[in-house]
Every structure is written in C-alpha cells, then in structure tokens.
C-alpha cells in the first residue's frame, strides 16, 4: 500500500471519528457516575437536526453547536430526573427517549432536509501542518478533531488524576461509601449525566455541521448505538474508548478497501465485521481467557498488563442511590 494512501485513510478516520469520540466520552462520564444514558441514538439525531437548523437559520456555526449542546443536555436531564429522582428504570426511559428523539428529529427537521448550510471551517495549523506524515494526518483537520483529541486527554486526566474524578468513580462504584465520605451522590450524578449529555449534543452537531453535512431523514441513525457499544468495548476508560472509536473507523475504511480488492465477498460481511470483532474482544477481556493469558506473563508484569486489559463496568451502574 502506498504511503500517501495510508496517510489519507488515517487522516479521514481521524476526521470521521470525532463525533463518535465526543459522544463516547460524554457517555463514559455519565456511566462512570452510575447513569446509563441509553438515549444516545435519539439524542445525537435530535441534536444533529437542531444544530443544523439553528446554524442554517442564523448562519452561525457556534450558535448551532450551542443549540445542539442544550438539546443533548436536556435529553440527559430527563434521564437523570427519571432515574435519580423518580427511581425509574434507566434502560426503559432511555429507550423511549431514543425513539422519541429520532422521530422528533425527523418531524421537526423536515423544512431543513437537503438544504446546503454552513459548516465547521477547515483549520490546518500553521507550521505543524508541514511536519511530514504526522502533520498531514493530525494537523490538517477542523477544530472539532483537535477538540476531540484534547477532550480524550482532559477526561482521562479528570477521572484519574483529580479529587473530583475520584469522587466520580466512587459514585459509580459504591454510592453508599461515597456518601459516607461526604459526597453528595445524587447531585454529582445529575451533574455528570447532564455534562455527558451536552457532549453527546456536540457530537450530534459535529455530524450535521462537519462529518456528514446537512440534514436528511434518519441522518445519523445507528451512530448512537455504536457509541454506546464503544464505551463498553473501551471498558469505561477514556483512552481505550477512544482507541475503540478509531479502531472502528479504521475497520470501516478497511472494509471499503477490501471490498474493492475482493469483490467476490458480499458487502455485508465487511459491514458486519467490525461488530463481530468487537464481540470477540469483549468476550476476551471480560472472560477467563484473560486470566490464562496473564499467567503466561512474568509476575512483575502481570499487574500492569492486567490493569491495562481487564474490564469491569462501574458496580453501581443503573442502580439508584437511596439514603436511609
């Protein structure tokens, strides 16, 4: 394979994955706090439509993103209220919101279907763009790509290096213990659910204003579910979640290329392959196979490798917290 082709593929994977990365980061922090925002597919759809509509009507991309953020945060607020305050089932509420969001987007978005609208400007970074290979992949992108990469690092730093992040993890793992140590469990859960939802909203607008321009019926259908799957695949760890999102992008591109070079294989095989691969990886990291693999490593390395590969959901995921 030519090097220029490789650069082109990686650069487009990076660009096309940014909404998925942003949405998955949002979902990661919500779930770390113990709340599943299952409405992702509907939230992304509705915020993609709203973001585009506002940007189209005002001609201002930033206003479009703000609107999308509000929509995402509002959807998350519904989930938070239903699950944290009313103790309703998060999965049921999330599922209903998924359907509602998608249908509402199709209905309200009708006037905006296939209209040419504003877009996030291409923004190569001076000097850095001229670095061979690296510059071509990373620094000839729009601001969303840069922001999504910064976001990954910020979320990781927040979760693992700050007091607030430790509290976030504690709230999702054992809210009773967090409460005993002076944390306002439900307030934090509200906060992270809504912030996560706002990020999901940004991801929606990132589709309609950058990656998949404009609006059409079912414009982003399915991407929310992919983001949800990637969070699990990534084991609720920002770096691995991001890796999962990019890997997914690479597999999709490879599918396109392979399909052209091996025309005998039905296209569906390549479309389905990334998902099958994800299931296999999940089985591996959560099952006994990992422990057997670890036993092959020298004892000193076992812990490091194990920490890097082992996956467990937040213990209190989807479980409401009630004080005595």
Partner 1 sequence: MKVELRGIKKCFGSVRANDGVSLTVEAGSIQGLLGENGAGKTTLMKVLSGFVSPEGGRILLDGKEALFSSPAQAIEKGIGMLHQDPLDFPPLKVLDNFLFGRDSGFLLKRALARKELLELSERFGFTLDPEAYVNTLTVGERQQLEIVRLLSLGVEVLIFDEPTTGISTPQKATLFATLRRLAKEEGKSVIFVSHKLEEVLELCSGVTVLRRGKVAGEIAMPCTSEELVRLMFGQVITTHVAEEVSLGEPVLELRVWGVHTYRLDLSPVSLQVRAGEVIGLAGLEGSGQRLLLRACAGLIKPSRGSLFLRGEDMSGKSYQKFLDAGVAYLPAGRLEEGLIPGLNLAEHFVLARREKAPFFINWALARGDAGRKIEEFNIIGSPSTLVEGLSGGNQQRALLALLPDSLRLLLLEHPTRGLDVESALWVWDRLLERREEGTAILFTSTDLDEILERSDRISVFSGGKMLEILDASQTDVEQLGYLIGGNRG
Binding site residues, partner 1, CB under 8 A: 161-167, 169-170, 173-174, 176-183, 303, 312, 314-315, 324
Q: Closest approach of Cβ 277 to partner 1, in Å?
A: 27
Place of tokens 């909203």: 201
Alpha-carbon gap, residue 168 to 45, rounded angstroms: 28
6 vs 177, beta carbon nearer partner 1: 177
Sign of CA dihedral 158, 201, 78, 239: negative
Residue 24 phi/psi, 5-degree rounding, is: -65, -35
Q: Closest approach of Cβ 169 to partner 1, in Å?
A: 6
171 CB-side CA count, 13 A: 28
130 vs 176, beta carbon nearer partner 1: 176
Contact 233, 282 (CB under 8 A): yes
99 vs 312, beta carbon nearer partner 1: 312
Contact 153, 165 (CB under 8 A): no
80 vs 178, beta carbon nearer partner 1: 178
Q: Closest approach of Cβ 115 to partner 1, in Å?
A: 45
Alpha-carbon gap, residue 198 to 308, rounded angstroms: 29
126 vs 182, beta carbon nearer partner 1: 182
Q: Closest approach of Cβ 193 to partner 1, in Å?
A: 20
CA-wise closest residue to 275 among 311, 226, 221, 222:
226
Q: Closest approach of Cβ 175 to partner 1, in Å?
A: 10
Q: From residue 311, give the alpha-carbon distance in Å to each of 91, 186, 233.
A: 21, 25, 9
């Amino acid at each position: 394979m030519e090097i220029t082709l490789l650069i082109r593929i990686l650069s487009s994977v990076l660009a096309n994955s940014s909404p998925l990365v942003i949405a998955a980061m949002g979902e990661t922090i919500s779930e770390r706090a113990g709340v599943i925002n299952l409405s992702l597919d509907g939230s992304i759809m509705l915020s993609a439509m709203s973001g585009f509509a506002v940007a189209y009507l005002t001609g201002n991309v930033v206003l479009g993103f703000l609107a999308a953020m509000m929509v995402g945060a509002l959807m998350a607020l519904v989930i938070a209220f239903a699950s944290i305050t009313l103790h309703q089932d998060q999965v049921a509420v999330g599922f209903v919101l998924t359907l509602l969001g998608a249908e509402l987007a199709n209905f309200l978005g009708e006037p905006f279907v296939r209209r040419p609208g504003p877009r996030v400007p291409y923004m190569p970074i001076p000097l850095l763009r001229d670095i061979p290979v690296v510059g071509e992949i990373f620094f000839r992108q729009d601001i969303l790509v840069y922001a999504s990469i910064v976001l990954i690092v910020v979320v990781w730093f927040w979760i693992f290096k700050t007091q607030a992040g430790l509290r976030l993890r504690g709230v999702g793992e054992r809210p009773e213990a967090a409460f005993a140590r002076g944390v306002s469990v439900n307030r934090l859960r509200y906060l992270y659910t809504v912030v996560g939802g706002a990020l999901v909203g940004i991801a929606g607008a990132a589709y309609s204003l950058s990656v998949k321009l404009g609006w059409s019926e079912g414009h982003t259908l399915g991407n929310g579910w992919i983001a949800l799957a990637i969070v699990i695949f990534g084991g609720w760890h920002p770096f691995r979640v991001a890796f999962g999102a990019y890997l997914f992008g690479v597999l999709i591109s490879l599918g396109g290329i392979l399909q052209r070079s091996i025309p005998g294989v039905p296209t569906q095989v390549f479309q389905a392959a990334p998902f099958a691969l994800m299931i296999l990886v999940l089985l591996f990291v959560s099952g006994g196979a990992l422990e057997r693999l670890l036993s092959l490593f020298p004892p000193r390395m076992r812990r490091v490798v194990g920490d890097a590969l082992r996956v467990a959901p937040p213990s209190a995921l989807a479980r409401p917290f009630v004080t005595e």
